[in-house]
Structure 1
Amino acid sequence: MGNLAESISNSFQVGCGCQGNKMLFTAVSLSLVFSEDVEYIVLAVSALIFFIALCFLIWQIHRYCTQFTVSQSAADDLAAKTGGFHFGKPAQYAKMEGSYEEQQLSQSTSCTNLGSSFDLSSLEDLEEEPIKGSLRFSLFYDQLQSKLVVTVLDARDLAMRDFSQSVDPFVWVRLLWAEKENELQSSMQCVLHEWQTRLVKRSCSPVFGDQFSCSLAQEELSRVTVRFEVRDFDKFSRHGILGEARAPLSGLKVSYPMELRRDLQVPQKVMDIVGEALLSLKYLPTSQRLEVGVLKIHTVCHPKKTERALYSRISVTCNQCKLRHQSTTQKRRWEVTVFNEVMTFVLPDQQITECTIEVSVFELPPSKKSSKKLIGHIHLKKSRISDNEHWRMMMRSLRQPVAKWHLILI
């Protein structure tokens, strides 16, 4: 009995001890409960952080959508209607119809590469977006050093792009040399020099102040036209074209510094004819093959730029996706360079009605250290009125090559 009583007493003491510890823990827990003011503050801070995170997410989604909803519809170059090539005489170019085209690139923000690899694309956006603004520049011919000095000063009231609501302008300058004097609009031309100004971000009235110069004989001034093309830099798509200004030196007295301001106009790509190419098309429906032949290329070359090579690259694009491209061999450049090479592309019947053929002509300088230079483009597509004729001739003469001259435009 004594042992039983002792065990019961010990159990009672242990129970009391556990009960005391539980009460102590409850007291400590109660002491850690925050006051109502602190709880409201914590709740408000949490709600504020959640609101900021939600706003940041919405901003990122809006930025992504605005960058990738830019219209990617590509238009094609316009080629000449039926016409031949006569040795010693310029080809007779028919009146060209359709939309103009722009050159844009997707390069890094480095100003040295803003326009080094521009591709031709549609200028149909220029019809929807008004061209406005003006460009101020100066021209001066130094007779002692036989140098032409071109200075791009500033631009005013440039149009903003609708999709970005801002503009990051720079100016692409080309020196065009005409084949014949006083016939700058009808004769073929070549690009003597090309430069670009620095990029000015988020400014509709940028100030450039960039100066360029090149050696030029005085008797050649009447054949030269300076073309200024104002572009809107776009890192994620092709650059936009805000307008152009031209200054033929034949009607200007540039022996003294001359400062001019010209209103920007819609780019007139039809005026920039740099050559013509004789292309052949043949479609084999059974094997679903398209054969594109580069037969001859007629270009204009400055007398001082001799011993250069030419080659062309043919690309087939379907639904804005480049399927394949092939290049011709390099040939020494003559007034008429003969290639007689045929490239074969496998295209189903559905793609042959939707594809675009782009022929790019490149020039290789004699120095191996120098990079290739793009001369111009030719675009062939079934949907374009001026090119429908060549396509119709090809589809009417299946399994037979059909040749036609096409203009090469900058």
Structure 2
Amino acid sequence: MSTGAYEEEKGTDEPDCATIDHGLGRLQFQVFYDFTEQTLVVKIFKAVSLPAKDFSGTSDPFVKIMLLPDKKRKLETKVKRKKLNPIWNEMFLFEKFPYNKLQERVLHLQILDYDRFSRNDPIGEVNLPLAELDLTNPTTYWKNLVPCKGSKQSSGELLLSLCYAPTAGRITIVVLKCRDLKAMDLTGKSDPYVKIWLMYKGRRIEKKKTRIKHRDLNPIFNESFIFNITVDKLMDTTFYVTVMDKDRLSRNETIGGVILGPKSGPKEEKHWSDMLAKPRVPVAEWHHLKEIPSP
């Protein structure tokens, strides 16, 4: 059960950098065992540098707490709206839990982004075998979040803005930024850039690309590209937008891509339709990167 808010202990605000930084943020928490009450106490302090999961550029994070392998009993913090550095200050109790049984359990702390209209989106997690911890004294930990097990490996997302000017006969594509890109290098990072191919009736017409952002899984580009397309050619026009990882020693690798046009996927078609429905107005949309064929 949760016992609500409490005062955070001082002098323990030191990051733990022992684990690989996946760019998912870090979580601060405390764990100890009350032998008198046979109760495991878990205190959730805060998280820092969480990735943005919402279109607003923020997240609505909360923490789910379990003692694996038991998945039936789960405790949760409150949801912190529009926060990338949330502070919870909440305490949770696993009561009447024999100490010898704890040695077989793994403390599972998972941060999720709350979504009122669809499934909550996992941000990252921490797993600590309790047998490896000193539970006799309250100890505060900083742990890097790692990708959630069981969730599909994501290549990341790309934020694009489309704007069509019918009179001038041009489409402006603004490559705004990416988030949670898949790490392609041994360092756990990537050197991303975005390549755009304008296709007409299946033929490559024009290619443009952004600058390279070195060692960045959440790059900000803010680069604008103009393509001349008359109204009569719109139905046969398609854009292949690909996020690439620059490699100095070998061939550049594809992280993922998006196909935009009147005959693409449901979300991509909607973005295209919204652009046409609002002439001269930039329309921005996040797109999940997928495997797409070469243009």
Q: TM-score normalised by the shorter chain: which range applies?
A: 0.3 to 0.5
* Greater strand share, structure number: 2
Compute the TM-score of the two structures, normalised by the length of structure 2: 0.48
* Greater helix share, structure number: 1
Compute the TM-score of the two structures, normalised by the length of structure 1: 0.35
